[in-house]
């Protein structure tokens, strides 16, 4: 039988944005619950250590860990109800259906829903990208953060954007043997540095972080190369060598600049995609911004989406980093309180002001950074004809090309080729397929819709979702 | 990996090219009925144009679960097994046996892997009442020429050790099977174009004008069809619009009462292949099969929420939870297999559950091809209609009970 739990505010996602939203909404007297699919709150940025680890001193685990500890402890001391290990299956009307490995299905009825789903690594297809030993930055970060484990002894880091630097520096600090860092963008131009510097006011911590990250690399004499991209990973059964090339302004490899190096691991981090599955299931309105990960849910200054009861906060709504995420979460929590009549509109304005100011500063800095690390089309042209594009169903680029000669619709490509039908539910291949459609038909990305959204939001065991108390109508023909 | 893949692809560019000014036959609808009819007509060198407002095979034809319904299943039953009902079921089984013959030969005919498998089908009964229905069904089938047999107790457990041990009994029909619905329609379409048929996609019909005085005008055309991409003239028109058949028929003043229902389907992650035969339930809504991509497809007629076109019908949590509970009851090993995705499709049916097939006497030249058990029977009724259209509209070629002009309540 279905257990139904009622909440005034339900927050999905226990990362920086979700924690802040739950804290703020509960603070104003709203019955609030937070659910997260992982065993611990914190999300990716504030990720906790795995079971079996004992933390003797939080400070050894870095600034993000400390920020996470602070928010999580506020939540645990508050009236916020916490449901971890709880996977969202679908959302219908005012009900969120979830599944838990021991407890099975539980439904949450809500008045306001704040979704802070987070982001995942931008999948980049190149020959050899499915070889064991090729990992995304997020996966390596998870290994290192939760298990204190390095994936290899000699790791090449290839990526782009502020996080390429931050991630590699953090990984080095946590003891992962990064051998070299490749950044596909050019070295910052003076004009870009000036723009960034102009945005630094109010973002001193971010700027200081950047300097600190760079100095970590310098101190360890780890080479950091601009304008290079990984074009191939090779090896018997796992990565043994990686080839990279110099790129032009469009991130297209320049022939004759290839260098092959022997490494045992390749960490790939070309920025992030917002996890927008739930917003798509809800049929929220979307906008498009390539540098923030492509499709992102449309929202107002409070995070309110085209569905008034649904708010969207954090990196899952356009990647802007954990500081902005906390501000967004707080603002959504405040707005929920005002909508519920807990605070007046004037009070809302007063309370929101410092967070809005904070968010504006962050966004300005982020825009300057995005400008500097713009994602260029060459990144989607690295696959060769035999490269696997859909890794779940082993569908190659040449097979997909054939299908694309017949249709420009991703749903139809999926139906004809099986690309996107596997366990990752299309997260890894759809953007690559969109890019192939874009190249063949010259259709802008914002016009290439992903396949029809369907639940479950993530795969779930049949035993955890089946409900024997639900009866069918039996006969189809009623006389 | 042993993968079913289409033998070839239509050219998107050609699908979007301008419409011809006129054609002999105009088929409206690019589902299984429309594409298979295009194939059978094009084989006879009939000049034809098929119009589809989206991509080929994207509605019911591509969203059903791919089950053949050769043996009698729950969707054909009513609460009372009267003699009249038994006679109806008997005639339906005869039609289903004919359809099985077509499917038997279809991969050869189209020279393609369509994922057709005839590895038998189980029909399970959980209790004695259901077992009684199973026995009645078994009798009707064998009398109508479809082999099936019943097993209970230890015999049942030995024959199908993977099914729940405490079922009251099972029927097994060796002829039962399934195919891949994503491949059949597009393959028919591809072969039809090879034969000279023309197909245009993303072209929706806006209106149909009946020309002339109601009799076939020599030299002149019978219909003028206005589409989103211009006008086209034709002698004969076929309404193969699936769930939108009724809407389209109104354009020429015909009333074809139909019901629409959104159906829900589940698919799991791949699992080591072991379930050769399809599993259905005589008293609950369930179809369950393992595909040759190793996934389990679980359906059986649970509802999806209706939406206005082009929005797809929404899947309901209750349909998944209920459907999977029935599946788990019958096949307990599914417990730890992950549900990967759900989808929905729209199912169109007539109240008497019979096809609407043939030419209207009220509007000569206007043909309809619509069948409630569309995946199983679609290609066969399309072939019937193609025979009719290429044999001087001989009425004997289509059963009168399918008549377009019959009174359908």
Check A90 against B317: CB less than 8 A apart. Answer: yes
Identify the bridge partners of residue B369 per DSSP, sorted by sequence position. Answer: B357
What number of other Cβ atoms are within 10 A of residue A293's Cβ? 24
CB-based contact, B3 to chain A, within 8 Å: yes
CB-based contact, B325 to chain A, within 8 Å: yes
A137 token code pair: 């930055």
> Which residue's entry shows tokens 């685990």?
A61
DSSP state of A254: P
Using H for helix, E for strand and C for coil, what is the string for chain B?
CCCCCCCCCCCHHHHCCCCCCEEEEEEECCCHHHHHHHHHHHHCCCCEEEECCCCCCCCHHHHCCCECCCCCCHHHCCCCCCHHHHHHHHHHHHHHHHHHHHHHHHHHHHCCCCCCECCCEEEEECCHHHHHHHHHHHHHHHHCCCCCEEECHHHHHHHCCCCCCCCCEEEEECCCCECCHHHHHHHHHHHHHHCCCEEECCCCEEEEEECCCCCCCCCCCCEEEEECCEEEEEEEEEECCHHHHHHHHHHHCCCCCCEEEEEEEEEECCCCCCCCCEEEECCCCCEEEECCCCCEEEEEEEEEECCCCCCCCECCHHHHHHHHHHHHHHCHHHHHCEEEEEEEEEEEECCCCCCEEEECCCCCCEEEEECCCHHHHHHHHHHHHHHHHHCCCCHHHCCHHHCCCCCCC
Q: How far A479 CA sits from the closest chain B CA (Å)?
A: 7
CB-based contact, A1 to chain B, within 8 Å: no
For residue B138, which of B153, B127, B124, B150 has the smallest C-alpha distance?
B150
Q: How far B218 CA sits from the closest chain A CA (Å)?
A: 38
Give residue limits of the domains in chain A. 3-120+273-369, 123-270, 383-447
CB-based contact, A363 to chain B, within 8 Å: no
Position B1 pLDDT exceeds 60: no
A208 token code pair: 């200081």
Check A92 against B317: CB less than 8 A apart. Answer: yes
Check A463 against B335: CB less than 8 A apart. Answer: yes
CB-based contact, B202 to chain A, within 8 Å: no
Q: pLDDT tens, B287-305?
A: 999 998 899 999 999 999 9
Give chain B positions within 8 Å (CB) of A409.
55
Contact at 8 Å (CB) between A364 and A206? no
Angle at CA B38, nearest 5°, toward B11 and B62?
Answer: 70
Q: pLDDT tens, A71-109?
A: 999 999 999 999 999 999 999 989 999 999 998 899 999
When CB atoms are compared, the residue of A105, A405, A454 closest to B321 is A105
> Which residue's entry shows tokens 């050790």?
B161
Q: Do domains A3-120+273-369 and A123-270 have the same CATH topology?
A: yes
Residues, chain B? 409
Contact at 8 Å (CB) between A227 and A183? yes
When CB atoms are compared, the residue of B11, B79, B315 closest to A454 is B315
Check A468 against B325: CB less than 8 A apart. Answer: yes
> Which residue's entry shows tokens 């009861």?
A309
Check B342 against A455: CB less than 8 A apart. Answer: yes
Please state the ipTM of this predicted complex: 0.93
Q: Where is A217: in which H helix or E strand?
A: helix A204-219
**Greatest Cα-to-Cα distance within chain A, rounded to the nearest angstrom:** 82
Contact at 8 Å (CB) between A9 and A31? yes
Peptide bond between residue B191 and the one before it cis (omega within 30 degrees of 0): no
Check B301 against A472: CB less than 8 A apart. Answer: yes
What number of other Cβ atoms are within 10 A of residue A449's Cβ? 15
Position B80 pLDDT exceeds 50: yes
A467 by DSSP, 3-state: which? coil
pLDDT band at B36 (very low <50, low <70, confident <90, very high): very high
Q: Where is A398: in which H helix or E strand?
A: helix A397-404
Check A454 against B283: CB less than 8 A apart. Answer: no
Contact at 8 Å (CB) between A465 and A105? yes
Identify the bridge partners of residue A312 per DSSP, sorted by sequence position. Answer: A115
Contact at 8 Å (CB) between B33 and B242? yes
Give chain A positions within 8 Å (CB) of B9.
402-403, 405-406, 416
Average pLDDT, chain B: 94
pLDDT band at B351 (very low <50, low <70, confident <90, very high): confident
Residues, chain A? 479
CA distances from B52 to A431, B27, B57, B228, B255 (A): 27, 9, 9, 11, 22
Q: For A457, which residue in chain B has the nearest alpha carbon?
A: B341
CA distances from B93 to B140, B150, B170, B286 (A): 8, 17, 19, 20
Q: Which of B260, B314, B320 to mutate to test the interface with A (most CBs of A within 10 A)?
A: B320
When CB atoms are compared, the residue of A454, A462, A472 closest to B337 is A462
Position B5 pLDDT exceeds 80: no
pLDDT band at B29 (very low <50, low <70, confident <90, very high): very high
CATH of span A3-120+273-369: 3.50.50.60
Position B126 pLDDT exceeds 80: yes
Position B216 pLDDT exceeds 60: no
Q: Which of A94, A399, A406 to mutate to test the interface with B (most CBs of B within 10 A)?
A: A406
Q: Name residues whose C-beta falls within 8 Å of residue B308's C-beta, 6 or more positions apart in sequence.
A: none
CB-based contact, B304 to chain A, within 8 Å: no
Q: What is the pTM of this model?
A: 0.93
Q: pLDDT by residue for chain A (479 residues), tens digit each?
A: 789 999 999 999 999 999 999 999 999 999 999 999 999 999 888 887 777 777 767 766 777 888 889 999 999 999 999 999 999 999 998 999 999 999 889 999 999 999 999 999 999 999 999 999 999 988 988 888 788 888 889 999 999 987 777 778 878 877 788 999 999 988 877 777 777 777 776 767 777 777 777 788 888 888 889 999 999 999 999 999 999 999 999 999 999 999 999 999 999 999 888 999 999 999 999 999 887 888 999 999 999 999 999 999 999 998 888 899 999 999 999 999 999 999 999 999 999 999 999 999 888 888 877 777 788 999 999 999 999 999 999 999 999 999 999 999 999 999 999 999 999 999 999 999 999 999 999 999 999 998 888 999 999 999 999 999 999 988 887 76
Contact at 8 Å (CB) between A275 and A296? no
CB-based contact, A393 to chain B, within 8 Å: yes
Size of interface A-B (CB pairs under 8 A): 147
Check A456 against B80: CB less than 8 A apart. Answer: no
The confidence score (pLDDT) of residue A93 equals 87
Check B321 against A470: CB less than 8 A apart. Answer: yes
Give chain B positions within 8 Å (CB) of A456.
320, 339-342
DSSP state of A293: T
Burial of A237 (0-12, 13-18, 19+ CB in 10 A): exposed
> Which residue's entry shows tokens 């990720």?
A47
Distance CA A426, CA A352 (A): 38
Check A476 against B74: CB less than 8 A apart. Answer: yes
pLDDT band at B3 (very low <50, low <70, confident <90, very high): low
Angle at CA B94, nearest 5°, toward B88 and B98?
Answer: 145
The domain A123-270 having CATH identifier 3.50.50.60: the answer here is yes
When CB atoms are compared, the residue of B76, B311, B340 closest to A423 is B340
Q: Name residues whose C-beta falls within 8 Å of residue A350's C-beta, 6 or more positions apart in sequence.
A: none
The confidence score (pLDDT) of residue A143 equals 86
A442 token code pair: 């010259």
Give chain B positions within 8 Å (CB) of A94.
none
The confidence score (pLDDT) of residue A278 equals 96
Check B317 against A474: CB less than 8 A apart. Answer: no
pLDDT band at B2 (very low <50, low <70, confident <90, very high): very low
Check A468 against B329: CB less than 8 A apart. Answer: yes
Position B261 pLDDT exceeds 60: yes
CB-based contact, B79 to chain A, within 8 Å: yes
The domain A383-447 having CATH identifier 3.30.110: the answer here is no
When CB atoms are compared, the residue of A107, A408, A454 closest to B343 is A454
A304 token code pair: 């309110």
Domains of chain B in sequence order? 12-62+182-256+352-402 (3.50.50.60), 93-178+259-349 (3.30.9.10)
CB-based contact, B308 to chain A, within 8 Å: no
- Segment B203-224 shows an average pLDDT of 80
What number of other Cβ atoms are within 10 A of residue A322's Cβ? 21
CB-based contact, A254 to chain B, within 8 Å: no
Identify the bridge partners of residue A233 per DSSP, sorted by sequence position. Answer: A242
């Amino acid at each position: 039988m279905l257990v139904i739990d009622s909440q005034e505010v339900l927050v999905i996602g226990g990362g920086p944005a979700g924690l802040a939203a739950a804290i703020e909404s509960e603070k104003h007297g709203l019955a609030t619950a937070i659910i997260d699919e992982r065993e611990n709150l914190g999300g990716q940025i504030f990720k906790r250590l795995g079971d079996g680890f004992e933390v003797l001193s939080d400070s050894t685990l870095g600034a993000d860990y400390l920020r996470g500890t602070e928010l999580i402890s506020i939540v645990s001391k508050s009236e916020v109800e916490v449901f971890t290990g709880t996977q969202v299956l679908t959302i219908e009307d005012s009900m969120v259906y979830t599944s838990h490995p021991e407890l099975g299905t539980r439904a949450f009825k809500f008045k306001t829903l704040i979704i802070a789903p987070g982001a995942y690594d931008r999948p980049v297809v190149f020959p050899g990208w499915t070889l064991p030993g090729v990992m995304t930055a997020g996966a390596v970060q998870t290994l290192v953060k939760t298990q204190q484990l390095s994936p290899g002894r000699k790791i090449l880091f290839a990526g782009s954007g502020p996080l390429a630097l931050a991630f590699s520096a953090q990984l080095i600090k946590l003891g992962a043997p990064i051998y070299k860092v490749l950044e596909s963008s050019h070295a910052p131009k003076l004009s870009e540095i000036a723009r960034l510097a102009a945005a630094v006011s109010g973002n001193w911590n971010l700027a200081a972080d950047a300097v600190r990250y760079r100095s970590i690399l310098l101190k360890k004499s780890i080479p950091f190369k601009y304008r290079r991209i990984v074009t191939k990973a090779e090896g018997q059964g796992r990565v043994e060598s990686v080839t990279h090339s110099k790129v032009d302004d469009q991130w297209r490899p320049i022939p004759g600049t290839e260098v092959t190096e022997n490494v045992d691991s390749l960490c790939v981090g070309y920025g992030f995609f917002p996890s927008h599955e739930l917003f798509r299931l809800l049929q929220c309105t979307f906008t498009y911004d390539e540098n923030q990960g492509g499709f992102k849910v449309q929202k107002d200054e409070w995070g309110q989406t085209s569905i008034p009861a649904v708010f969207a906060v954090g990196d899952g709504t356009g990647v802007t980093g954990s500081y902005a995420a906390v501000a967004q979460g707080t603002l959504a929590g405040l707005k929920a309180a005002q909508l519920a009549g807990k605070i007046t509109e004037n009070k809302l304005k007063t309370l929101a002001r410092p967070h809005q100011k904070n968010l504006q500063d962050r966004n300005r800095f982020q825009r300057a950074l995005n400008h500097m690390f713009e994602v260029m089309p060459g990144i989607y042209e690295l696959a060769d004809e035999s490269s696997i594009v859909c890794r779940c169903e082993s569908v190659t680029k040449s097979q997909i090309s054939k299908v694309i000669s017949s249709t420009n619709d991703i749903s139809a490509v999926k139906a004809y080729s099986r690309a996107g039908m596997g366990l990752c539910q299309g997260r890894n291949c759809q953007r690559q397929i969109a890019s192939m459609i874009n190249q063949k038909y010259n259709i802008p990305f914002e016009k290439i819709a992903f396949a029809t959204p369907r639940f479950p939001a993530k795969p779930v065991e049949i035993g955890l979702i089946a409900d024997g108390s639900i009866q069918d109508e039996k006969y189809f023909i009623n006389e | 990996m042993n993968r079913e893949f289409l033998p070839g692809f239509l050219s998107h560019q050609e699908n979007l090219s301008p419409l011809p000014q006129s054609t002999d036959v105009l088929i409206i609808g690019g589902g299984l009925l429309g594409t298979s009819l295009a194939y059978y007509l094009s084989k006879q060198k009939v000049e034809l144009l098929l119009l589809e407002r989206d991509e080929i095979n994207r509605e019911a034809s591509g969203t059903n679960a791919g089950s053949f319904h050769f043996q009698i299943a729950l969707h054909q039953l009513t609460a009372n097994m009267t003699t009249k009902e038994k006679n109806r079921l008997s005639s339906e089984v005869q039609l289903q046996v004919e359809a099985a013959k077509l499917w038997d030969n279809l991969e050869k005919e189209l020279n393609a892997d369509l994922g057709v498998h005839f590895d038998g089908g189980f029909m399970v009964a959980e209790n004695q009442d259901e077992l009684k229905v199973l026995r009645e069904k078994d009798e009707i089938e064998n009398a109508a020429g479809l082999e099936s047999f019943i097993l209970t107790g230890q015999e049942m457990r030995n024959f199908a050790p993977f099914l729940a041990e405490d079922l009251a009994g099972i029927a097994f029909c060796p002829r039962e099977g399934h195919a891949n619905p994503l491949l059949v329609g597009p393959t028919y379409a591809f072969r039809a174009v090879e034969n000279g048929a023309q197909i245009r996609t993303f072209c929706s019909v806006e209106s149909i004008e009946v020309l002339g005085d109601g009799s076939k005008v020599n030299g002149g055309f019978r219909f003028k069809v206005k589409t989103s991409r211009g006008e086209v003239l034709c002698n004969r028109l076929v309404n193969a619009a699936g769930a939108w058949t009724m809407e389209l028929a109104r354009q020429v003043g015909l009333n074809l009462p139909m019901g629409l229902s959104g159906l829900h389907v589940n698919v799991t992650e791949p699992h080591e292949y072991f379930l050769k035969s399809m599993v259905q339930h005589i008293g609950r809504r369930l179809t369950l099969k393992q595909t040759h991509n190793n996934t389990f497809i679980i359906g059986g007629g649970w509802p999806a929420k209706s939406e206005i076109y082009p929005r797809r019908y929404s899947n309901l949590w209750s349909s998944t939870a209920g459907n999977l509970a029935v599946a788990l009851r019958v096949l307990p090993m599914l417990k730890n297999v992950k549900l990967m995705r759900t989808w929905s499709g729209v199912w169109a049916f007539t109240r008497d559950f019979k096809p609407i097939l043939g030419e209207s006497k009220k509007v000569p030249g206007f043909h309809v091809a619509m069948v409630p058990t569309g995946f199983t029977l679609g290609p066969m009724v399309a072939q019937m209609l193609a025979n009719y259209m290429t044999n001087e509209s001989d009425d004997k070629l289509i059963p009168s009970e399918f008549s377009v002009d019959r009174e359908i309540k």
